[in-house]
Amino acid sequence: MNPGHPEHTALTRTGSGIGTRTGAGMSAGLGAGSGGADLADILERVLDKGVVIAGDIRVNLLDIELLTIKLRLVVASVDKAKEMGIDWWESDPALSSGARRGELGAENARLRARVAELEQRQEETR
């Protein structure tokens, strides 16, 4: 343990040995710039877990919840946040069902295009 190095989280083992077997770019996608710590793992804990006690300075739960939503909006537009792996709030049911709707929408569009294409071809052969 060497607490002197800000980027080093000695107690966190991310993907070393375990988990890199498949070579799927874990380290490329997560924990950019850190000494192995995955920022999303840390934020998941320090922001979202731990003992919640009101301090004298009021940064209340609602603020933190707002924060995650705001951050999500930031993430949608800022590559840096993506590099850092900040995206756990995308699992918010309301938001992820939105994502699923998007997927269905895209497939619908593809199918509609295909139908139009087929109809046109039929027209032409007539």
Partner 1 sequence: MNHEELLYAYAVTRDDGTPGAGDLETLTGVAGESVRPVRHLGLTTLVGQVPAAGFDEAALRASLEDVAWLEKAARAHQRVIDAVSAGGACVLPLRLATVYRDETGVRRMLADRHAQLGAALDRLDGCVEWGVKVHAVGSAGQAPAATGSSSGAGPPAPRAAMSGRDYLRSRAAARHADEEGARREDEAARGIHAALTALAEQTRIYPPRQGSLAGPSGRNVLNAAYLVRRESGGRFTSAAAGLAGLAPEDGVRLELTGPWAPYSFAGQATTGQPTAGEEIP
Ranges within 80-109 binding partner 1 (CB under 8 A): 80-82, 84-88, 90-92, 96, 99
Residues of this chain, 31-90, that bind partner 1 according to CB under 8 A: 34, 37-47, 49-53, 55-59, 63-64, 67, 70-71, 74-75, 78, 80-82, 84-88, 90
* Tokens encoding 89: 């709030």
Task: Give the torsion sign (CA, 9, 15, 16, 18).
Answer: positive
Count of residues in the chain: 126
Q: In angstroms, rounded to a whole number, what is the distance separating the alpha carbons of residues 118 and 43?
A: 50
Of residues 22 and 125, the one with the C-beta less far from partner 1: 22
Residue 47 CB, nearest approach to partner 1 (Å): 5
Of residues 53 and 123, the one with the C-beta less far from partner 1: 53
Q: In angstroms, rounded to a whole number, what is the distance separating the alpha carbons of residues 94 and 108?
A: 21
